Amino acid sequence: MSDQRLGSAIRLVRVRRGWRQADLARRSGVGQATISRIERGHLGTLSLDRLRSVAATLDIRVDVLGRWRAGDLDRLLNAGHSRLHESVARAFRDLPEWITAPEVSFAIRGERGVIDILAWHPGRRALLVIELKTDIADVNELVGTADRKRRLAVSVAVERGWIAPGTAPPTVSLWIIVSGSRTNRRRVAEHAAMLRAATPTDGRTLSGWLRDPSGAISALSMWPDIHAGTNRPVRGPIRRVRRRV
């Protein structure tokens, strides 16, 4: 959506609600001159936070869509996801007790999605949902999506034949793996308290748990950046990011 089209949309919704520009300005906490610039599509000097604040007052959600060389940006992002996926899969080669399945799609009771990696430890009857993120756009959405997949994991495993219906339920764990870019590290640090509450397991506990998965865990790890074309980490081993509370 162009700047002008977004401005027109905000104006139309404002008018539909019977608000004046002054009403929207007061409710959103910005000046009327700012509302006028937005509605005329003059967004160049406006911060994204302020624009989203005005739009949210009208129940409009503003997302950012990056474009680069036609569709090349999507291919670049997908390539990054593939490299991260391959690097994590290689790590499981040292854990032969685990059975892993990539890109597991599901459609259960109207809920659809794809689990990046679903892992099963038959000896311990432990399921592990692995969510891979090369770029964090919305931390709340990340945690909510990952938790939904964890909730549905047993049904997915039953469909795959890993778990027989009616048997004792397995433990279900969650591991969110985030590519260790500067931007991702900053976003994780900005939401440290919320992420620590949602994923309390630290790196040392996680390493031991992967070798002997007793009980359920929930963890978030920063994965080293991967060189394009090599699948080799740019730096250091996997570790959990330190978060200031």
pLDDT in tens, 175-212: 999 998 888 999 899 999 999 999 999 988 999 999 99
The verdict on 93 and 165 lying in the same domain is: yes
Task: Return the closest-CA partner of residue 119 out of 162, 165, 151.
Answer: 162
Local confidence pLDDT in tens for the 245 residues of the chain: 678 889 999 999 999 999 999 999 999 999 999 999 999 998 888 888 889 889 999 989 887 766 655 455 555 567 888 889 999 999 999 999 999 999 999 998 888 889 999 999 999 999 999 999 988 878 888 899 999 999 999 999 999 999 998 898 999 999 999 998 888 999 899 999 999 999 999 988 999 999 999 999 999 999 986 544 444 443 333 444 444 33
Residues constituting the chain: 245
Structural domain includes residue 49: yes
Residue 230: per-residue pLDDT: 44
Q: Identify the DSSP state of 156.
A: H
The pLDDT value recorded for residue 201 is 96
Residue 92 within a domain: yes
Query: What's 49's domain CATH number?
Result: 1.10.260.40
Q: How far apart are CA 55 and CA 62, in angstroms?
A: 7
- Whole-number Å distance between alpha carbons of 133 and 66: 17
Q: Is the sign of the CA dihedral 185, 189, 195, 201 positive or negative?
A: positive
Q: Which of 155, 131, 156 is nearest to 143 (CA)?
A: 131
- Residue 60 CA to residue 155 CA, distance in Å, equals 35
Report the C-alpha gap between 206 and 76 in whole angstroms. 30
Residues 210 and 119 occupy one common structural domain: yes
Both 44 and 101 in a single domain?
A: no
Is residue 101 included in any domain, yes or no? yes
How do 126-133 and 111-121 pair as beta strands?
A: antiparallel
> Do the Cβ atoms of 225 and 135 come closer than 8 Å?
no
Say if residue 30 is in the same domain as residue 106. no
Same domain, 184 and 98: yes
User: What domain range is 9 assigned to?
Assistant: 3-57
Between strands 126-133 and 171-179, the pairing is parallel
Q: Are residues 11 and 130 in the same domain?
A: no
Portion of the chain with pLDDT greater than 70, in percent? 86
Q: Do 41 and 77 have their domain in common?
A: no
pTM of this prediction?
Answer: 0.66
Q: Work out how many domains the chain is built from and give that number.
A: 2
202 in the same domain as 94: yes
Alpha helices per DSSP H over 46-138: 48-57, 72-91
Q: How far apart are CA 116 and CA 108, in angstroms?
A: 17
Torsion sign, CA atoms 27, 28, 33, 36: negative
Parallel, antiparallel, or unpaired: how do β-strands 171-179 and 218-223 relate? parallel
Side chain identity, residue 48: L
